Each structure stands twice: as C-alpha cells, then as structure tokens.
C-alpha cells in the first residue's frame, strides 16, 4: 500500500513510484467515505486499443453487453452492502 499526504496548500503529494507507474494526471472521484484517483492516459485511444486486445476474440457484442451488465449489477450490490 502506498500512502500520500496533503501539503499546506491542500495538494496531494504522491510518491515518485506512483507517478512513474500511473502518470501525473488523475481524475478525482469522490465516493462515500473515500476518494478514488483514476490515472488519465496521455493517449486514450491507444489505451483503449490495448484494453480491446485483452478481449477474447470469440466473444460477441451480445456477450460483452451481458458481461458488462452483470459486472455493473455486482458493483451496485457491493456499493449498497458497503453503505449499510
């Protein structure tokens, strides 16, 4: 686990290792009880192409939509469970 701190100007300071691995730009996503940093790709199209290469070739669009729907439902249920 990597820790960060906020300086006297309310800036988040990350370790060099984190910056080298994920880059210098992040989207900040506030969530209940936490803040999530999502790295911003310098080349989003290339990042999307790389992710696409990970999808098995035998899956149809229908299969992918079903998998996305199932994952979204799972994440929603986990979110509801955490809030209780």
What's the token pair of residue 5? 């701190």
Predicted model pTM: 0.53
Kindly state whether residues 61 and 29 are assigned to the same domain: no
Residue 48 lies in a domain: no
Kindly state whether residues 33 and 58 are assigned to the same domain: no
Kindly state whether residues 1 and 28 are assigned to the same domain: yes
pLDDT at 84: 59
Kindly state whether residues 38 and 59 are assigned to the same domain: no
| Number of domains the chain contains | 2
Q: Are 15 and 6 in contact (CB under 8 A)?
A: no
Kindly state whether residues 59 and 38 are assigned to the same domain: no
Domain around 58: 54-84
Rounded CA-CA distance 64/81 in Å is: 26
pLDDT at 82: 67
Taking only the tens place, the pLDDT of each residue in 6-40 is 999 999 999 999 999 999 999 999 988 889 999 99
Q: Are 19 and 29 in contact (CB under 8 A)?
A: no
**What is the residue whose two structure tokens read 């696409």?**
52
Kindly state whether residues 35 and 58 are assigned to the same domain: no
């Amino acid at each position: 686990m990597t820790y960060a701190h906020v300086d006297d100007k309310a800036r988040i300071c990350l370790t060099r290792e984190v910056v080298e691995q994920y880059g210098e730009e992040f989207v900040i996503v506030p969530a209940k009880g936490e803040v999530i940093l999502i790295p911003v790709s310098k080349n989003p199209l290339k990042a999307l192409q790389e992710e696409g290469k990970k999808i098995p070739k035998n899956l149809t669009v229908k299969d992918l939509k079903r998998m996305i729907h199932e994952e979204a439902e799972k994440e929603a249920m986990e979110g509801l469970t955490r809030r209780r």
